[in-house]
Amino acid sequence: MERRQNLEHTSLLVLSLLSREDMYGYQMITEIQKKLDSSFTMKEGTLYPILKKLEASEAVESYEQPVPGGRIRKYYHLTAAGRQLLRREEEAWHTYEKSINQILKCESGGILPEGS
């Protein structure tokens, strides 16, 4: 019954975050939480498999960095291929977005001229 969040464009978000700076997984989660203020959350069970997949396809590279405290962070860096992928996914997202809105806008106002 619970509405599953279904991000679906998760890899787009990950790539976009990494386009600004190298980040580690936990950081991406908290960043998104901060930015979106709980309108949705990126779950660990969603994120980590995606990072793996992106690394396997060489869209990102990772390196570990010890933190003074003693823990180790695994940073991810966007590759050139990843940047291209980002462009493509972004475009796909906007197409998708427009398509949905195109259908919705016909809703009750109705019959709009389909020309310019």
Partner DNA sequence: TCCTTATACCTTGACACTCGATGTATATCT
Partner DNA sequence: AGATATACATCGAGTGTCAAGGTATAAGGA
Answer for the pair 10, 46: CB distance below 8 angstroms, yes or no. Answer: yes
Q: Nearest distance from residue 12's CB to DNA, in Å? A: 9
99 near DNA, rule: CB under 7 A: no
Reduced to 3 states, what is the DSSP secondary structure of residue 89? helix
Q: Nearest distance from residue 41's CB to DNA, in Å? A: 7
Query: Which one among 23, 32, 78, 85 touches its own copies, defined by CB under 8 A?
Result: 32
Specify whether the backbone of 58 is left (phi greater than 0), alpha (psi in -120 to 50) or beta: left
Answer for the pair 42, 56: CB distance below 8 angstroms, yes or no. Answer: no
Q: Nearest distance from residue 109's CB to DNA, in Å? A: 25
Tokens of 79: 């590759």
8 near DNA, rule: CB under 7 A: yes
Over the window 54 to 83, marking each residue x when it contacts DNA by CB under 7 A and - when it does not, the resulting string is: -------------x-xxxxxx---------
d(CA 31, CA 25): 10
* Residues forming beta bridges with residue 75, ordered by sequence position: 24, 63
Q: Nearest distance from residue 72's CB to its own copies, in Å? A: 26
Query: Which one among 49, 83, 87, 98 touches DNA, defined by CB under 7 A?
Result: 49
Query: Which one among 26, 48, 63, 96 touches its own copies, defined by CB under 8 A?
Result: 96
Looking at residue 80, the DSSP 8-state letter turns out to be H
